[in-house]
Amino acid sequence: MAPLVLHVTGARPNFPKAAPVLEALAAYDVEQLLVHTGQHYDDKMSDIFFRQLGIPKPDVNLGVGSGSHGRQTAAVMSALEELFEERRPDLVVVYGDVNSTVAAALVASKMGITFAHVEAGLRSFDMTMPEEINRLVTDKLSDLLLTTSTDAIGHLGNEGTDPDKIHFVGNPMIDTLLKNKDRFDAEAARAELGLEGPYIVATLHRPGNVDDPADVKELVDAMHAVADQAQVVIPLHPRGRARLEEAGFLDHEGMRVIDPLGYLEFMGLVRGAAAVVTDSGGVQEETTVLGVPCLTLRPNTERPVTITHGTNQLVRRDNLAEKVREVLATGPLTEWDVPPLWDGHAGPRIAQILADSVGAAKRA
């Protein structure tokens, strides 16, 4: 019987990372089971990704839904424990730093199941971020740590990780980006939204920006100063709008709030942007490869390689408008660095390591 490799996904950022691994691992003599925990559960946050990226529909959808960090993590753990007992996977693979990732790590490690973390070793050193806690716990429990950048290797080494567990593989999310790059239609995005002239895309959801009323007020003022210079388009889930609307976020003719987009539509919008203002992790990576200036509205980033080898820079609310002004004055980039091994072949490198770990050969 072929060994069973079980992939756990739970949220929108996981899917572009998992797609190239699933595809590449299909070339080996393994059985694969794709599990969607349902942490993100509406169409634009999950299902559309499977359709657009050619990922088979999940074999199992646990449907845990939203909730506090503790309740959501506990719900995923309970459901995964039952599933792991039933299916007895030889290897569990997780992606990124969401609650589903750390839940799977805890369950697999307690059941003695070999466990692999794709995107291991990223660190913001900011323990107020739930994702940082998820990353630290997951990496500590992992048997295979698959890293996207050389700084991640250094972090794991500094934490005393066995070097034999660490593998530098590159970034599978960039595999997905490069595979679909010709489908990112900036002009279609511009036409669909009626955008004229330079525009800026914003993605803002971190607690440090949108939870405290004083922070929200500063954010609104900063984004209005950005909208004075160019139209701002911000995809925002309806559940996330209320606090920003109450603070007057939309009280500027240059602010354009739209519903969340599918992967292809969002990447088309980003590709045509003069700049992106974000507090998201993955967007920092995508803009780095697309050559779109990225202004990360955070005091830190777990992806510093996007600054040293890319288009990203950290900004504050009090200097955001000035940084936007500089980007608009510079105009589109013609040359920029891209991090090592962000070459579209991370999926096959990861698949080889996973196959070796369960003793699976390539199919004839």
pLDDT (tens digit per residue) in 160-180 = 999 999 999 999 999 999 999
What's residue 40's pLDDT? 62
What's residue 47's pLDDT? 72
Question: What is the arrangement of strands in the sheet containing 31-36, beginning at the earlier edge strand?
Answer: 60-61, 31-36, 4-9, 91-95, 114-120, 144-147, 166-168
pLDDT (tens digit per residue) in 77-89 = 999 999 999 999 9
What's residue 43's pLDDT? 54
In 3D space, the residue among 303, 305, 296 whose CA is nearest the CA of residue 324 turns out to be: 296
Stronger pLDDT, 100 or 209, i.e. the higher one: 100
Catalytic amino acids? 205
> What's the Cα-to-Cα distance from 314 to each of 19, 103, 329, rounded to whole Å?
29, 30, 18
How do the domains of the chain map onto residue ranges?
4-171+342-357, 184-330
What's residue 68's pLDDT? 86
pLDDT (tens digit per residue) in 298-315 = 999 999 999 999 999 999
pLDDT (tens digit per residue) in 282-296 = 999 999 999 999 999
- Whether 4-171+342-357 shares its CATH topology with 184-330 is answered yes
pLDDT (tens digit per residue) in 28-42 = 999 999 999 987 655
Torsion of CA 134, 140, 141, 146, to 10 degrees: 80
CATH architecture of the domain covering 184-330: 3-Layer(aba) Sandwich (3.40)
Please give the average per-residue pLDDT across 45-59, as a whole number.
Answer: 79
What's residue 11's pLDDT? 86
At the top level of CATH, the class of 4-171+342-357 is: alpha beta
What's residue 44's pLDDT? 54
Q: What φ, ψ does residue 330 adopt, rounded to 5°?
A: -70, -35
Please give the average per-residue pLDDT across 175-186, as a whole number.
Answer: 97
